Amino acid sequence: MSIPSRCDPGRRRFLRGGAAALGLGLAAGLGLDRARAEGLRPVVVCIDPGHGGHDPGCIGAKGLREKDVVLDVALRVGALLEAVPGLQVVYSRRTDVFVPLAQRLQLGIRQRADLFLSIHADAFPERDVRGSSVWILSERGASSSAARWLAQSQNGDFWDSSAALAGSRELHDVLLDLSRSAASSAATRAAQLLLRALAEVEDLHAAQVQKANFVVLRAPNVPSLLVETAFLSNPEEEKRLRDPDFRALLAQSISDAVLAHFVQAPPSDSRWSSARHAIAPGETLSELAARYGVRPNVLRLANGLVSAQLPAWGYLRVPILHA
């Protein structure tokens, strides 16, 4: 599960302007005044397309470059999330530029991101290896030789950024005890949702959440994930990744999982909150999804439903979104 070269890339901030738009659910309108009056902040998601600029990442046999594929997927994920009220997306790069790993890591810290999501495509010497995997930070560092290799190649340019490193280390020390375990358990929950969502559109390379000591995942106070979407070294998967429809599908799954995570655990000072909806006879998942401003798949993932069929009775956790 690893590869010849990994690194990472440019940072730009995107503030959602007109996203209130969208007509996503009654809660948006109703909540606007309250959200403003109480000074609530948007939920912040940091999206980090791997590699860029002089660092192409993996390259498929037919020439597809990781830096291009992951940028496209990342921008698609961002566009889907930007359309949701009360959610702000920040990118580490939106173009083909190189951004050092430390800069990516610090972006999440500076923006006080509620979720940092690094997007990559994988490679391995054996060409039949395939599938998605989701990674979170390992406290003890890489726990297997494959993971160590991955972490080393991923961390390649980090040590050149000593100034940035010093800053992040100080912050790390101060915040460590207070926030690391909270961030870590949030990352684990989000990673599990992401795996579940990806399993519906792509084989899983690893059925469990993986752990490694990736630099970009080290922010002590930011729940951080890295997704390896598929294997560029597998000719079949390279072909799939080249297909815009497949990339759109991947992006939709990733976006659904991110939103399901915040339905499950909305940040308490944010414009998102959640409620329990008592299922009434005859209600359908798609009706409720439309009412609460998310896709049916988001409600399904957030509530651990195996199908789109609602149980006859019980409660669903639903989001209350404030623009």
Residues found near Zn ion in the complex (CB under 5 A): 6, 50, 57, 120
For Zn ion, the closer CB: 57 or 108: 57
Query: Could you tell me if residue 269 is left (phi over 0), alpha (psi between -120 and 50 degrees) or otherwise beta?
Result: alpha
For Zn ion, the closer CB: 6 or 240: 6
Closest approach, Cβ 66 to Zn ion, in A, equals 5
Q: Indicate the SS3 state at residue 245.
A: helix
For Zn ion, the closer CB: 4 or 314: 4
Closest approach, Cβ 294 to Zn ion, in A, equals 30
Report how far residue 11's alpha carbon sits from residue 23's, in angstroms, rounded to the nearest whole number: 30
Quickly tell me which residue has 């995997």 as its tokens: 133
Nearest residue to the partner Zn ion, using Cβ: 120
DSSP characters for 276-313?
EEEPPTT--HHHHHHHHTS-HHHHHHHTT-SSSPPPSS
For Zn ion, the closer CB: 65 or 120: 120
Closest approach, Cβ 6 to Zn ion, in A, equals 4
Cβ proximity of 89 and 17 under 8 Å? no
Amino acid letter, residue 33: D
Closest approach, Cβ 276 to Zn ion, in A, equals 40
20 burial (CB, 10 Å; 0-12 / 13-18 / 19+) is middle
DSSP characters for 61-130?
TT--BHHHHHHHHHHHHHHHHHTSTTEEEEES-SSS----HHHHHHHHHHTT-SEEEEEEEE--SSTT--
Closest approach, Cβ 234 to Zn ion, in A, equals 15
For Zn ion, the closer CB: 57 or 100: 57
Report how far residue 43's alpha carbon sits from residue 20's, in angstroms, rounded to the nearest whole number: 14
For Zn ion, the closer CB: 55 or 114: 55
Report how far residue 309's alpha carbon sits from residue 77's, in angstroms, rounded to the nearest whole number: 26
For Zn ion, the closer CB: 47 or 294: 47
Closest approach, Cβ 139 to Zn ion, in A, equals 22
Closest approach, Cβ 162 to Zn ion, in A, equals 23
